[in-house]
Amino acid sequence: MSKTRQKRERNSGLHISVREHTAGKNRIWTAVNLSAPVLLLYLGAAWSLLSVFELPSYTWWAVLPGVVLLLLLLAGGRIRKCGYVITGVLFLVTLGLILGKQTPVYQGLLLACNDATKALGQHTEILLEGYQVSAATDVQPLCYQLFTGICGIFLAAVCYSVTESKKNGVLFLLLLPVGILALVCGMGAKSWPILILLLGAILTMNTSFLRGSRQKTNATVGSSGAFLQVAVWTAVFFVGAAVLLQVAVSKSGYQKLGFVSGLQEKVQATIQELRYEKEPVSSFNQGQFDKLGDLKLTDKEALKVVMDEPTSMYLRGFIGSTYTSTGWEETEGKELYEKRELFYWLHRTDFNGLTQMATLYGLENPDKKEESVQVTVQNVNGNSKYLYTPYELMTEPQSLEDVRNVGDERLQSEKFMGSRVYTYQAAGNLVKQYPQIASGFYSEKDSEEFKTYTEDESYYNSFVYEQYTEIPLETELLLGAHLNVERRSGQNHASYEEANTLITAYLNKNLKYSEKITPLQSGDFLKNLLEVRSQGYSVHYATAATMMYRYLGIPARYVEGYLVTPKLVADTEDYEEISITGKQAHAWVEIYQDGIGWVPMEVTPPYFDVMERPDYEIVADGGIGDEGQEGSAEDGQSQNVQDKTPDVPEEQTKSKDHDWKKWLLAGALILVFLALLALVGYVIVRRWRLRTYLREIRQADHRRAVCLLGQYMVRWLCYVKLWDGNGSRYQVRETLEEKFGEELSQRYQRAIDVIQLSAYSDAEITSMERQETEAVVHDLQSRILHTVGIRQKLRMKFIDFLY
């Protein structure tokens, strides 16, 4: 054997060894490439949904059956077929068990539904009745795990189908439920399941882009290396983000101050503006301090109000119950959900916090009980989320169509775009005579006629004091220094006359009314108002007064709405339209007077004489809950304290200096979100292009249509590998005859003749020839679809956009 030949053989052997070693590494990276994205995608999706619906922690182990199924599907061959069979059989068995009702799986379904509706009610104020579970308490965890485990298997099959498609145009459908629940409904998952889900989604898209939708599963070493690099850097990013979340945001403050919450609030605000807002008529913005600027009250029409007996009234819209440094928030659904049984039984006895004053007036004046004013409101440019109603409302909220009573606090429209026209009954202007109403109640409350009302009011009273007297620690220290009186609470609250005098005197002395303000850049709004700016308009006065009333132990809420003033109704005839413009937009404080209900209090100087003022001296100080001792400060003697607020404990200020870190994380999440939006946009554009192409075929003349049909048919032939695009299209006839029969192959040849004729000659193409070509393309398409499975059909339609 020559030296050259020996050298060639040695080189050949060395070459074979390298290829075998490379193939071994390739198989490893291919396995990682296939398994990592789908496993992460499944675990992230499953744990995110479990977290969103706040299911018990022991159900989190129910993801294991889904992991087992994924391993079977990833194994390939007969094992994969076994996985498909298991999924199909399990689906049929589960369906039978659910239809059989008293089975453990069915009981698990009921338990999951109960927890899901509870979570939904806590975040959206939509209160749904739970299902009756018959399973014993000790077996309920087993029922729960059986049901969630089966759901995990089905979710695993879905995730596998998404990743197996390689061209993940439907990936966003898997992420959409979590996104909608978090951004629209406020039902956010914990941070780490979301990070796992996004990591799985990014790796899935990365695999798809590197390998291509039509590439075979044996990825090259180069593409596997690229996949590994992207996977490593993505993992580093998400691990770093998770660590930064733990360091930058405390556990207690994360949910309210985290970047997810900030993004959620911005998305929700944008959605609400699109749904409920038309043309702004004033600068009021539902109690948000960070959006507050100079006061702007325009002449644009907000409401049109028609009454059969025109009378002045306050029309309440937004109700702020929880004070934060950046704005007022409505009562959270979780708090209202916990009190759902209280409101249920109160409403059963016709007691409602929204109609309380009118109810009491009817008890005191039976002869006037049926007297009412019919009010019709047409919301022209106001916020259609709220129904603008007065304190004298008589109509029971549940009788109004498409309206939800949220904790007897406010009425919200259930229509997607809000309510623009509605009618209700009111009891005339009771606000100006509520001291007389209070006096009558205090003297008659022990009588038989008032027994039910008094009992109901006592339950509602407890809720009101628990919910609407809360003050943050920082604010309590701030007000203690400025008002120079001790904090009052419960039955020891200050008398109403004392509180009114003290608060009005302080505001008049220490604040200056101004419609020009400097927007709040950072820090606490109230502290900035009392110690730095010391000026503002109704929003500032009402906010300060609300917190001061609470400090003195009196329940109070911040309100935005419109004033139907005595001046507007002075010369108005019955049923004459009253135009309410932005000039009548206003913010005020309302307080709860024990036994009587909610009443508005005016603290903004220019508005003292705009509405009728009641005579508070008529109210008996010995009334329910008004046995509070007099405060230690003399009326009107509060001092203007400059920066005397005691230092807040260090643990209260820990999380204030991390805004930049949170927004850095927010930026990263926004980039991921934009990538998903781009993917969705890509799918929409591709579907639109296909539809445009098919419409062009239908609308074209015969010659042009036949040419386009030929191109469309070639696309199908190449896709299913009946033709590789090289050589003559006539060669396909033999393959078609083997797969679909002689009849279709002959028609195919005639269609190719017509297509060639339209492309390379001036001969006229007849309508019959066009129809025959269309029929061949349609039949060929139908035969091909008949030979493939449902998954391949879905891929051809939604991934590769063939039809």
Which tens digits make up the pLDDT trace of 764-800? 888 898 888 888 888 888 888 888 877 777 778 767 7
CB distance 10 to 2 below 8 Å:
no
Q: Looking at the structure, tell me whether residues 507 and 605 fall in a common domain.
A: yes
Per-residue pLDDT for 130 more than 90?
no
In a domain, 538, yes or no: yes
* C-alpha to C-alpha distance for 716 and 136, rounded to whole angstroms: 58
Give the model's pLDDT for residue 238.
54
> In Å, how far are 262, 328, 383, 663, 752 from 659, measured between CA atoms?
11, 20, 31, 6, 67
Q: State how many domains the chain has.
A: 3
Give bridge partners of residue 378 from the DSSP assignment: 304, 421
Q: How confident is the model at residue 99 (pLDDT cuts 50, 70, 90)?
A: low
Lowest-confidence region among 62-71, 325-334, 649-658, 740-749: 649-658
Per-residue pLDDT for 742 more than 80?
yes
Other beta carbons less than 10 A from residue 127's beta carbon = 20
In a domain, 271, yes or no: no
DSSP string, 203-217: HHHHHHHHH-TT--S
Give the model's pLDDT for residue 738.
83
In a domain, 237, yes or no: no
Per-residue pLDDT for 182 more than 70?
no
CB distance 389 to 354 below 8 Å:
yes
Residue predicted with more confidence, 727 or 241: 727
**Token pair of 713, please?**
């048919």
**Among the three residues 600, 631, 657, which one is the final residue of a domain in this structure?**
657
Q: Looking at the structure, tell me whether residues 620 and 715 fall in a common domain.
A: no
What's the average model confidence in pLDDT over 335-344?
Answer: 82
CB distance 630 to 486 below 8 Å:
no
Give me the amino acid identity at 65: P
In a domain, 665, yes or no: no
Q: How confident is the model at residue 122 (pLDDT cuts 50, 70, 90)?
A: low
What's the average model confidence in pLDDT over 667-689?
Answer: 70
Lowest-confidence region among 85-94, 424-433, 696-705: 85-94
Residue predicted with more confidence, 557 or 258: 557
Q: Looking at the structure, tell me whether residues 301 and 401 fall in a common domain.
A: yes
**Token pair of 566, please?**
């005595």
Q: Looking at the structure, tell me whether residues 507 and 628 fall in a common domain.
A: yes
In a domain, 261, yes or no: no
* C-alpha to C-alpha distance for 461 and 453, rounded to whole angstroms: 12
Non-local CB neighbours of 273 within 8 Å, separated by 6+ positions: none
Give the model's pLDDT for residue 636.
35
Q: How confident is the model at residue 317 (pLDDT cuts 50, 70, 90)?
A: very high
Q: Which of 5-14, 319-328, 623-632, 636-645 ranks highest by mean pLDDT?
A: 319-328
CB distance 57 to 141 below 8 Å:
no
Q: What percent of the chain has pLDDT over 70?
A: 72
Residue predicted with more confidence, 641 or 744: 744
Q: Looking at the structure, tell me whether residues 430 and 531 fall in a common domain.
A: yes
Other beta carbons less than 10 A from residue 166's beta carbon = 19
Residue predicted with more confidence, 573 or 789: 573
Secondary structure class of 316 (helix, strand, coil): strand
Q: Which of 72-81, 144-153, 496-505, 682-691 ranks highest by mean pLDDT?
A: 496-505
Give the model's pLDDT for residue 616.
53
Q: How confident is the model at residue 357 (pLDDT cuts 50, 70, 90)?
A: very high
Per-residue pLDDT for 337 more than 80?
no
Per-residue pLDDT for 229 more than 70?
no
> In Å, how far are 103, 299, 302, 315, 580 from 281, measured between CA atoms?
58, 7, 6, 16, 10
Burial of 173 (0-12, 13-18, 19+ CB in 10 A): middle
Give the model's pLDDT for residue 672.
62
Per-residue pLDDT for 301 more than 90?
yes
Lowest-confidence region among 144-153, 187-196, 398-407, 785-794: 187-196
* C-alpha to C-alpha distance for 316 and 426, rounded to whole angstroms: 13
Per-residue pLDDT for 628 more than 50?
no
The closest of 758, 792, 753 to 776, measured between CA atoms, is 753
Cα 666 off chain centre by: 17
Long-range contacts of 263-271 (CB under 8 A, 24+ apart): 263/183, 263/666, 263/669, 263/670, 264/182, 264/183, 264/186, 264/188, 267/183, 267/184, 268/183, 268/184, 268/186, 271/184
> In Å, how far are 370, 537, 775, 797 from 793, measured between CA atoms?
67, 64, 20, 6
Per-residue pLDDT for 511 more than 80?
yes
What's the average model confidence in pLDDT over 697-716?
Answer: 86
Give the model's pLDDT for residue 767.
87
Give me the amino acid identity at 265: E
The closest of 552, 569, 353 to 461, measured between CA atoms, is 353
Q: Looking at the structure, tell me whether residues 627 and 735 fall in a common domain.
A: no
What's the average model confidence in pLDDT over 54-77?
Answer: 77
CB distance 564 to 570 below 8 Å:
no
* C-alpha to C-alpha distance for 165 and 169, rounded to whole angstroms: 9
What's the average model confidence in pLDDT over 469-497?
Answer: 90
Q: How confident is the model at residue 200 (pLDDT cuts 50, 70, 90)?
A: confident
Give the model's pLDDT for residue 474.
92
The closest of 536, 582, 543, 548 to 559, measured between CA atoms, is 543
Q: How confident is the model at residue 307 (pLDDT cuts 50, 70, 90)?
A: very high
* C-alpha to C-alpha distance for 478 and 483, rounded to whole angstroms: 9
DSSP string, 456-490: HHHHHHHHHHHHSS---HHHHHHHHHHH-S----G
Per-residue pLDDT for 504 more than 90?
yes
Q: Looking at the structure, tell me whether residues 640 and 735 fall in a common domain.
A: no
Q: How confident is the model at residue 638 (pLDDT cuts 50, 70, 90)?
A: very low
Burial of 603 (0-12, 13-18, 19+ CB in 10 A): buried
* C-alpha to C-alpha distance for 680 and 412, rounded to whole angstroms: 33
Per-residue pLDDT for 476 more than 90?
yes
Q: Looking at the structure, tell me whether residues 30 and 106 fall in a common domain.
A: yes
Give the model's pLDDT for residue 559.
97
CB distance 227 to 207 below 8 Å:
yes
Q: How confident is the model at residue 627 (pLDDT cuts 50, 70, 90)?
A: very low
Per-residue pLDDT for 258 more than 50?
no
Give the model's pLDDT for residue 17.
37
**Among the three residues 161, 195, 227, which one is the final residue of a domain in this structure?**
227
Other beta carbons less than 10 A from residue 760's beta carbon = 8
In a domain, 275, yes or no: no
Q: How confident is the model at residue 428 (pLDDT cuts 50, 70, 90)?
A: confident
Lowest-confidence region among 212-216, 372-376, 588-592, 751-755: 212-216
Q: How confident is the model at residue 711 (pLDDT cuts 50, 70, 90)?
A: confident
Alpha helix segments (H runs only) across 315-406: 333-338, 340-348, 356-364
Q: Which of 67-76, 96-105, 272-281, 498-507 ranks highest by mean pLDDT?
A: 498-507
**Among the three residues 227, 260, 293, which one is the final residue of a domain in this structure?**
227
Per-residue pLDDT for 214 more than 60?
no
Per-residue pLDDT for 110 more than 90?
no
Q: Looking at the structure, tell me whether residues 72 and 197 fall in a common domain.
A: yes
Give the model's pLDDT for residue 652.
41
CB distance 355 to 503 below 8 Å:
no
In a domain, 754, yes or no: yes
Q: Looking at the structure, tell me whether residues 651 and 708 fall in a common domain.
A: no
Q: Which of 85-99, 143-157, 551-565 ranks highest by mean pLDDT?
A: 551-565
Burial of 389 (0-12, 13-18, 19+ CB in 10 A): buried
Lowest-confidence region among 20-29, 56-65, 436-445, 679-688: 20-29
Q: How confident is the model at residue 125 (pLDDT cuts 50, 70, 90)?
A: low
Per-residue pLDDT for 228 more than 60?
no
Give the model's pLDDT for residue 235.
54
Give the model's pLDDT for residue 783.
85
Dihedral sign, CA of 592, 122, 144, 91?
A: positive
Residue predicted with more confidence, 263 or 113: 113
CB distance 587 to 601 below 8 Å:
no
Q: How confident is the model at residue 454 (pLDDT cuts 50, 70, 90)?
A: very high
Q: Looking at the structure, tell me whether residues 212 and 342 fall in a common domain.
A: no
Q: How confident is the model at residue 168 (pLDDT cuts 50, 70, 90)?
A: low
User: What phi and psi, each to the nearest 5 degrees, are found at residue 598?
Assistant: -85, 135
Q: What is the pTM of this model?
A: 0.61
In a domain, 496, yes or no: yes
Per-residue pLDDT for 57 more than 70?
yes
Q: How confident is the model at residue 665 (pLDDT cuts 50, 70, 90)?
A: low
Non-local CB neighbours of 524 within 8 Å, separated by 6+ positions: 325, 474, 475, 478
> In Å, how far are 35, 80, 81, 536, 615 from 77, measured between CA atoms?
16, 5, 7, 74, 87
The closest of 697, 542, 169, 600 to 390, measured between CA atoms, is 600
**Token pair of 130, please?**
């739970």
Give Dmax over CA atoms of the chain in angstroms: 127
Tell me which residue range forms the domain holding 185: 15-227
Alpha helix segments (H runs only) across 617-722: 659-699, 702-719
Give the model's pLDDT for residue 120.
67
Q: Looking at the structure, tell me whether residues 223 and 114 fall in a common domain.
A: yes
Q: How confident is the model at residue 172 (pLDDT cuts 50, 70, 90)?
A: low
What's the average model confidence in pLDDT over 127-133?
Answer: 68
Write down the mean pLDDT value for the chain.
Answer: 77
Dihedral sign, CA of 271, 276, 279, 282?
A: negative
